[in-house]
Amino acid sequence: MPALPRTAPETQALFLCLNDALPQTQCTRCGFPDCASYARAMAEGQAPINQCPPGGQAGIERLAALTGQPVVPLNPEHGTEGPRHVALIDEAWCIGCTLCIKACPTDAILGANKQMHTVIEPWCTGCELCIPVCPVDCIALENVTGAQTGWAAWSPALAQTARSRFESRQHRLVQEEATHQRQQQAKAEHKLADLAEHTKGTENAPEADRKRAIIEAALAKAKARQKLA
């Protein structure tokens, strides 16, 4: 007899449990943008439980116990179980492009534009997202757990740290985007209020109208994004 559909509260409760059972590496290897999205998909029956390489087979067993599904092998399409790694930057080759900083889901890379970057090891989840974006291949991965893999190479404390840092980063990015949109709106409003000065020397009325339309469109776009934020 097939299982009855879960109610919304049951699905939410399961989501929370599944998210707690994931290693929170935010590596995207499961095919979802973050661990919470994968947990949500599993809770809603939209994703199988064997897509998390960092959790390994022990992780699948945890997810199986929570969902009532049978234990299955890790899907090789999403990677293989292995030891925990941390990223290391060869500072002699680093050009300070900041691409790895933007890619890191836990803000574990310290640096600035045109300055050397370095990895803060306790915050690195080994997600590998910094590797492909580096234009000079100066980032390598170091095995820090030897033969231990999956949850034997991880811990609830490390997972909680990773999740907290990821959530903090997401909040910061939202705040930064909101600030940017406010600045864009203020800039557009300033130009629109003093259009004559910004179109000074333009004798062609259609050209002035075109610039007005561009500024008004930018202002409307900024206001729309403010509402969504």
210, amino acid identity: R
pTM of model > 0.95: no
For 38-88, the pLDDT digits (tens) are: 999 999 999 999 999 999 999 999 999 999 999 999 999 999 999 999 999
- Residue among 68, 115, 119 nearest 95 (CA): 115
Q: How confident is the model at residue 1 (pLDDT cuts 50, 70, 90)?
A: very low
Q: Which two tokens stand for residue 61?
A: 């067993």
Contact 181, 222 (CB under 8 A): yes
Supply the pLDDT for residue 30.
98
For 80-89, the pLDDT digits (tens) are: 999 999 999 9
Percent of the chain with pLDDT over 70: 82
Going from N- to C-terminal start, the domains of the chain cover: 8-78, 85-144, 174-228
- Residue among 168, 163, 147 nearest 21 (CA): 163
Quick check: 223 pLDDT over 70?
no
Quick check: 213 pLDDT over 50?
yes
Calpha distance 206→189 (Å, rounded): 20
The class of domain 8-78 in CATH terms is: mainly alpha
Quick check: 229 pLDDT over 70?
no
Supply the pLDDT for residue 201.
53
Supply the pLDDT for residue 195.
63
Supply the pLDDT for residue 185.
73
Percent of the chain with pLDDT over 90: 72
| CA geometry: angle 57, 107, 229, nearest 5 deg | 100
Calpha distance 3→190 (Å, rounded): 60
**85-144 fold:** Alpha-Beta Plaits (3.30.70)
95-124 as b/e: b if 16+ CB within 10 A: eebbbbbebbbbebbebeeeebbebeeebb
For 115-151, the pLDDT digits (tens) are: 999 999 999 999 999 999 999 999 999 999 999 999 9
For 199-217, what is the mean pLDDT?
64
